[in-house]
């Protein structure tokens, strides 16, 4: 059952400036998406943090199961060959 005494939770994503991607900045309560945008504007962009806001109902987010951390993420640990670290990089290349 949804708790009617409290507004639903939304996750907030803010784009700091054009060209960057939206970053998760926090969450808030709002009765609907439009109010969530207003609240996000008031809570998370009052110090010029952004130029664009996304809000997503928190219940729409599907998260990985913390109890499965071992099987999901551990196996990647010893596969260092998946990192592109075995190349000789010429001195002339400054940024890669």
Partner 1 sequence: MNAAVPQAGSEALFRYVLRLGDLSLVLGQRLSEWVGHSPALEEDLGLANIALDLIGQARLLLSYAGEIEGRGRDEDKLAFLREQGAYFNAILAEQPNGDFGQTIVRQVLIDAFQLELYERLAASSDERLAAIAAKSVKEVRYHLRYSSDWLIRLGDGTAESHARAQAALDLLWPYTVELFTEDELDRLMCDNGIAPRLHEVHSAWSARLDAILAESTLKRPADRPHAWHGKRGQHSEHLGYILAEMQYLQRTYPDARW
For residue 54, list its beta bridge partners. 13
The nearer residue to partner 1, 3 or 70, going by C-beta atoms, is 3
Q: How far apart are CA 46 and CA 22, in angstroms?
A: 17
Instruction: List phi, psi (to 5°) of 50.
Output: -160, 170
Of 10, 96, 95, the closest CA to residue 57 belongs to: 10
The nearer residue to partner 1, 42 or 52, going by C-beta atoms, is 42
Tell me the closest approach of the beta carbon of residue 90 to partner 1, in angstroms: 51
Tell whether residue 34 is a contact of partner 1 (CB under 8 A).
yes
Query: Residue numbers of the site for partner 1 (CB under 8 A)?
Result: 7, 28-31, 34-35, 38-39, 41-43, 46
């Amino acid at each position: 059952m949804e708790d009617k005494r409290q507004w639903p939770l939304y996750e907030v994503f803010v784009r700091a400036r054009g060209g960057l991607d939206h970053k998760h900045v926090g969450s808030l309560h709002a009765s609907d998406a439009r109010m969530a945008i207003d609240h996000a504007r008031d809570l998370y962009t009052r110090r010029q943090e952004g130029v664009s806001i996304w809000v997503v109902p928190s219940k729409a987010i599907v998260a990985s199961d913390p109890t499965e951390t071992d099987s999901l993420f551990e196996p990647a640990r010893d596969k260092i060959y998946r990192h592109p670290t075995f190349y000789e990089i010429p001195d002339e290349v400054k940024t890669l």
